[in-house]
Structure 1
Amino acid sequence: MKNIHPLSDVQSTYIGENTRIWQFVVVLPNAKIGENCNICSHCLIESGSFIGNNVTVKSGVQIWEGVKIEDNVFIGPNVTFTNDKTPRSKVYPEKFSETIIRKGASIGANATILPGIVIGEGAMVGAGAVVTKDVKPRATVLGNPAKEFEND
């Protein structure tokens, strides 16, 4: 059973079982969302994006074409994904950059993820971090630009 709030606009048919989509969420055609996900209010999920199973997307997140989120990922409120390294109005790349968030990763509130980044399995991105390069599996990154946190 899917639980789609009547005040959302879900145009995709690729929504997994037991996924909850809250009010004021827009899911465009050909976006894919897995099972047991929780998509909180005021999110946009663009065609050509992919969300795996057991993913939580908190309020105010836009997931653009080319963003792939694997299973068991947490996306905090107002996380910003980007998919174009040189954006210009009305000038589109032939293909948007692919950004991959690997299984079990967590991204804190208000983090910014630049295009073409891979965030490794089980990695943690701190709140407000600006991720400009790949994050290793199980690493914790913080700051602007995000750097690996080393606990001495």
Structure 2
Amino acid sequence: MELQRLGTSAKLAAILALSIGLAGCAGGDSGPISFTADRGAADQPFPTNYRAEILAFMRTYLNNPVGVRDGAIAEPVQRTIGGRLRYVACVRYSAKDSDGNYGPAREHAVVFVDGRLDRIIENAAEPCSGISYGPFAELGNLSR
């Protein structure tokens, strides 16, 4: 009885080993499989819906999105972020703090990967250097 179980276990182990070996061949020459599709390629697509994505993000990012002042935005440009070429849109605004007072205008860089909003960089002096801003009135119309 024990020999039959060992035989079955050995067969299952062989099938598992063969399956793992074949799965390794499935990748071909394309490299590892990535679920984020972050190819790190220089041919990043332009984020066509960047204004709407930034507004949706800011609604959740800001503690109090109501009454944002001095909203300004720069059209996305390509910058090297973390060693990879990305589209970056710079945003400048003054929001209410926890006491309801307005602080000085802050500058943030919004990074896009494969045409979609990926993250925000709060200390944006380097990625936003030399950027020309235009009005971003929609930022002042946010609600909770």
> TM-score scaled to structure 2, two decimals?
0.24
Higher strand residue share? 1
Highest RCO, 1 vs 2 (Cα 8 Å, sep ≥ 6): 2
> TM-score scaled to structure 1, two decimals?
0.23
